[in-house]
Structure 1
Amino acid sequence: MACQLHAQLILLTTFILVLNLRLYPVLGHNLGDTEKSSMEEEGAPEALNAAVMMYNENKSDLYLRHVVEVKNVRKHMVARKNLFFDVILGKTTCMKTQADLTNCLLNDQTDQQEHEFCSFEVLLSYMETYTVLMNSSCHRI
């Protein structure tokens, strides 16, 4: 008799657990969705800087690009944090080979003004010990 009661309790507990997990998205937390964020999000400025740095390293242009405007920031959190940035990058006067890159101003000559709209997906590990540029796409505007 006691064995049947334990089996029923285990089944009931399992059913309630499954029901709670199935209702989780109804409570407003859909695990697959991204949510709006901002540059004030912990780790966002560093993640965007890392993404732009990696983008500059991989671009064959001689000049560095710099963030002109942040259009949109989204985040996706499951076991780690993914940040999605939509930004406008502008061409600077600094060449990649320069030693001092602290004063890289945007190129203000009309024939040299190049802007790109870029989307970056950046993975931040747990405790933000490393940053990985997962995806990037840019097009000239």
Structure 2
Amino acid sequence: MAYLPHAPLLLLIILVVPPNLSQSDIFETLFPTMQKHRMNKVMTQEALDYAVSKYNEISSDLNLSRVVEVLSVYKLQREGTIFYFEVILGQTICMKDESDLTNCPLFEQAVQQERKLCIFLVYVASDETHPSMETLTCTR
């Protein structure tokens, strides 16, 4: 696994953000070389899919979660690519242990519509074969 020299600082930024500033604003200020990015690239979508699958793998939720909204995406190109995702996740009606998870709609009832703001920091090596989750933070 590649070492990200800024990973501890990024984690600190993500976890200790003043409530009146968005994490995106702080990110742009401290890392001006990171560029705002769009979700229209295959590698970007694959990195987000990887992050969500890792979230589902380690979360204690019984239901599968999926992206409801992408709030921001940043990308930093170095020896590999670092993606910063700020997304809203919602719980689906699918249980994690079901065999077919291809069509999992979100809960329709307001009581069950649990949403989480999540920050994912994903590193994709330059050969694009081994993504790794560097940071995963979610709040309700």
| TM-score normalized with structure 1 length | 0.74
Aligned AA for 1:62?
L
Aligned AA for 2:102?
T
C-alpha deviation, 1:33, in angstroms: 2.6
C-alpha deviation, 1:134, in angstroms: 0.7
Is structure 2 residue 35 aligned with structure 1 residue 35? yes
What is the root-mean-square deviation in Å for CA atoms of aligned residues? 1.4
C-alpha deviation, 1:42, in angstroms: 4.5
1:32 and 1:77, CA in 2 relative to 1: closer, same or farther beyond 3 A?
farther
Correspondence for 1:11: none
Runs of 4+ aligned structure 1 residues displaced above 3 Å come to none
Mapped to 2, the partners of 1:74 and 1:42 lie a distance apart of: 15
Correspondence for 1:47: 47
SS in 2 for 1:117: strand
Correspondence for 1:66: 66
Identity %: 42
C-alpha deviation, 1:53, in angstroms: 0.2
Aligned AA for 1:130?
H
Correspondence for 2:15: none
Mapped to 2, the partners of 1:124 and 1:76 lie a distance apart of: 10
Larger Rg computed on CA atoms: 1
Residue correspondences, number: 110
C-alpha deviation, 1:41, in angstroms: 3.3
Aligned AA for 2:50?
A
Q: Which runs of 5+ in 1 are unaligned?
A: 1-30
Mapped to 1, the partners of 2:110 and 2:40 lie a distance apart of: 33
C-alpha deviation, 1:32, in angstroms: 7.0
C-alpha deviation, 1:44, in angstroms: 0.4
Correspondence for 2:120: 120
In terms of fraction of residues, the more helix-rich structure is 1
Which whole-Å deviations, capped at 9, do the CAs of 1:47-79 have from their partners, x for residues lacking one?
A: 000000000000011001100011100011111
Q: Which runs of 5+ in 2 are unaligned?
A: 1-30
